[in-house]
Chains A and B, each alone.
Chain A
Amino acid sequence: MTALAIGGTNRKAKIRLGPIVERVLGILILLFAVYWIVINAIDGPDQFVGSVLVGLQNGALYALVALGYTMVYGIIELINFAHGDLFMLASIVAANLMVNVLGVGDLTTATILPLIVALVVCMAFGAFVNVSAEFLAYRRLRTAPKLAPLMTAVGLSFVFRGIAQQDYINGSTQKNWPVNWGGPIIEGVYVYKLLLVLVVTIPLLLAMTYIVARTRRGKAMRAVAQDQDGARLMGINVNGTISFTFALGGALAGAAGVLYFLVQTQTYYDTGTQLGLIAFTAAVLGGIGNLTGAVVGGVAIGLVQALNEGGAHGLGSNWSQSLVFIILIVLMVFKPEGIFGRRTTEKV
Chain B
Amino acid sequence: MSHPIGTSADGPSGTAGPGVPAGDSGTATLTAPQPAGERGAGREVILELKDLNVSYGNIAAVKDLNLTVYEGEIVTLIGSNGAGKSTTLRTISGLLKPRSGDVVFKGRRINGIPGHDVVKLGICQSPEGRKIFQRMTVSENLDLGAFVRKDADGIARDRERVLELFPRLRERIDQKAGTMSGGEQQMLAVARALLGNPSLLLLDEPSMGLAPVLVDLIFETIETIRSQGTTVLLVEQNALAALEIADYAYVLESGHLNMQGPAAQMLADDSVAAAYLGG
| Residues of chain A having any CB pair with chain B under 8 Å | 216, 219-220, 222-223, 226-227, 229-238, 342, 345-347
Contact = CB atoms under 8 A, between A and B. Distances in A.
Given A219-B144, A232-B115, A345-B178, A226 B133 contact: yes
Interface residues of A: mostly helix, strand, loop or mixed? Answer: helix
Using C-beta atoms within 8 Å of the partner chain, give the interface range for chain B: 20 to 34
Interface stretch (B62-70, B116-124, B214-222, B259-267): B116-124
A347 B179 contact: yes
B184 to A, nearest CB: 10
Interface of B: 93-95, 114-117, 119-120, 124-125, 127, 131-136, 140, 143-145, 147-148, 176, 178-182, 185, 192-193, 196
A227 B116 contact: no
Lowest 5 CB-CB distances: which A-B pairs, in order? A230-B131, A235-B119, A235-B148, A346-B178, A232-B115
B182 A238 contact: no
Contact of A235 (B143, B179, B180, B196): B196
B190 to A, nearest CB: 12
Contacts of B181: 347
Contacts of B127: 229-230, 233
Contacts of A347: 134, 178-182, 185
A10 to B, nearest CB: 16
Nearest to A226: B133
Given A233-B115, A233-B119, A223 B131 contact: no
24 contacts: A219-B140, A219-B147, A220-B147, A222-B135, A223-B133, A226-B133, A226-B136, A227-B134, A230-B127, A231-B144, A232-B93, A233-B115, A233-B119, A233-B193, A234-B144, A234-B192, A235-B116, A235-B119, A236-B116, A236-B144, A345-B176, A345-B179, A347-B179, A347-B185
**Interface-central residue, A233, A234, A235, A342, by most chain B CB under 10 Å:** A233
Given A235-B119, A347-B178, A219 B134 contact: no
B178 to A, nearest CB: 4
